C-alpha cells in the first residue's frame, strides 16, 4: 500500500490520520517458527534486523501479517542514519549493531491472523479495530513492538504535522472505508511540513550535457557554517532551469577559487558517478540561495533540494546550522499514548 504525496491534509469522515514515521517500511509475517521481513521493494530485511525476528518469535500469536515501520531510537528521537548503518554485508557488524542500536517495529495495520487469513480484504476501520485488540494482547510485554497512534481528529493531525521532526516527518491520511490497497496509492496520502534553509553556494559541478557547445552548470553544492566558522558541504540542488544555466555558469565561473568548503567537502567518484560528474569547482563564499528540503539529518540534506530563490540580502556567514535546529520532539510519547 503506497502513499500519494499531497500538499494539504484531507478532511472528512472517510479519513483517519497517523504520524508518518521516518524509517523502513516493512511487512512482517510469522508462520510458526518462520519470520519474514519484507521491504516495499521486496527485499528480505531479516538478516539486517535479527532482533526483530527474535522478538516476533516471542509473541504468543504464531500466525500473523503486520504492516509497519522499522525505526532505530536515538535518545528522544529516531535516527535514520543509524538505521542506514544496519544495511551492512558483514554479519558480525549486523549482530553488533543489533545489540548497540536495537530497532523497534511500529505497527499500523493488521493484514492476517490465524483465524482471519484475509483481513486485507476488509475496510481499514475494521482492520484497525482488530489491530488494537491484537496489540493489547501481544505487545504489552514486548517493547520491541509498538502501536502507531491513530486519530479521526483533523485538529490532532494538524498538530502532528506542526510537531514533525526527529523521527516522524509528516502525517499519513488513510481512507477508512477501503480494503488494503496493495500496489496503488488510492487509499493513502502523505503530507509533509514545508521546510527551507538559506545556504552558501560553496561550489558547483558541470552538467554532462552541453548547451550550444558550451559547458554549463549541472548542480550547485550547498554549504552551512558551524560555530567555528568552517563551511561544510551539506548537499546539492540540481533544479536549475535550462534557460538560466548559461548566465548562471558565467556568474559562477567568475567566482571560482579554492578552497570552497573549509570543513567537510564533497566526496570523490563513487559507483554511481563518472570521473567527470564527481569533479567540482570550488567557489568564493559570495552567493546565498534559499532551498526547500524534506529532511536534514547527520548534517546533510537527505535528498536533493529545490530552489526557492536567491538571497542577495543575506550575508553568507548568516547561513549556519543553527537555522535548522528545532525543538526536540519525543516520538516515543506518541507511541505510548
Q: Which residues pair with 172 in a beta bridge?
A: 18, 190
What are the C-alpha distances in Å from 168 to residues 24, 116, 161, 162? 12, 31, 9, 11
Q: Please return the burial class of 62, using the count of CB atoms within 10 Å of its CB with bins 0-12, 13-18 and 19+.
A: middle
Report d(CA 303, CA 155) in Å as an integer.
30
Short-list 18, 298, 242, 247, CA closest to 152: 18
Concatenate the DSSP letters of all residues of 39-103 into one string. -TTS-B-GGG-HHHHHHHHHSS-SEEEEEEEEE-EETTEE-HHHHHHT--S-HHHHHHHHHHS--
Short-list 122, 103, 124, CA closest to 21: 103
DSSP 8-class letter at 319: -
End-to-end, the C-alpha distance of the chain in Å comes to 25
Short-list 253, 232, 258, 238, CA closest to 319: 232
Rounded to 5 degrees, what are φ and ψ at 43?
-75, 140
20 assigned to active site: yes
Report d(CA 210, CA 190) in Å as an integer.
37
Q: Which residues are catalytic?
A: 20
Amino acid at each position: 500500500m503506497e502513499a500519494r504525496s499531497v500538499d494539504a491534509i484531507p478532511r472528512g469522515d472517510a479519513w483517519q490520520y497517523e504520524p508518518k514515521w521516518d524509517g523502513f517500511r516493512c511487512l512482517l509475517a510469522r508462520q510458526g517458527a518462520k519470520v519474514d521481513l519484507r521491504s516495499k521493494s521486496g527485499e528480505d530485511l531479516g538478516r539486517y534486523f535479527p532482533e526483530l525476528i527474535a522478538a516476533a518469535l516471542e509473541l504468543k500469536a504464531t500466525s500473523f501479517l503486520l504492516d509497519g515501520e522499522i525505526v532505530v531510537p536515538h535518545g528522544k528521537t529516531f535516527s535514520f542514519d543509524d538505521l542506514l548503518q544496519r544495511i551492512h554485508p558483514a554479519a558480525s557488524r549486523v549482530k553488533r549493531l543489533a545489540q548497540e542500536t536495537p530497532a523497534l517495529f511500529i505497527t499500523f495495520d493488521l493484514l492476517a491472523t490465524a483465524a482471519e487469513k484475509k483481513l486485507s480484504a476488509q475496510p481499514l476501520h475494521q482492520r484497525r479495530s482488530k489491530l488494537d485488540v491484537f496489540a493489547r494482547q501481544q505487545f504489552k510485554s514486548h517493547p520491541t513492538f509498538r502501536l502507531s497512534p491513530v486519530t479521526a481528529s483533523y485538529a490532532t493531525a494538524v498538530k502532528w504535522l506542526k510537531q514533525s521532526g526527529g523521527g516522524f516527518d509528516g502525517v499519513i491520511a488513510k481512507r477508512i472505508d477501503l480494503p488494503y490497497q496493495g500496489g496503488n496509492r488510492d487509499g493513502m496520502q502523505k503530507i509533509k511540513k514545508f521546510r527551507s534553509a538559506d545556504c552558501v553556494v560553496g561550489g558547483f559541478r558541470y552538467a554532462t550535457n552541453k548547451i550550444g557547445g558550451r559547458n554549463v552548470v549541472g548542480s550547485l553544492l550547498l554549504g552551512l557554517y558551524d560555530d567555528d566558522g568552517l563551511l561544510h558541504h551539506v548537499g546539492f540542488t540540481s533544479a536549475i532551469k535550462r534557460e538560466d544555466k548559461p548566465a548562471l555558469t558565467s556568474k559562477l565561473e567568475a567566482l571560482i577559487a579554492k578552497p570552497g568548503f573549509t570543513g567537510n567537502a564533497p566526496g570523490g567518484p563513487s559507483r554511481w558517478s563518472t570521473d567527470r560528474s564527481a569533479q567540482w569547482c570550488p567557489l568564493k563564499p559570495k552567493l546565498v540561495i534559499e532551498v526547500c528540503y524534506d529532511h536534514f539529518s547527520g548534517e546533510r540534506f537527505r535528498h536533493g533540494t529545490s530552489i526557492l530563490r536567491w538571497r542577495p540580502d543575506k550575508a553568507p556567514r548568516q547561513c549556519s546550522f543553527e537555522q535548522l535546529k528545532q525543538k526536540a520532539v519525543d516520538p516515543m510519547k506518541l507511541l505510548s499514548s
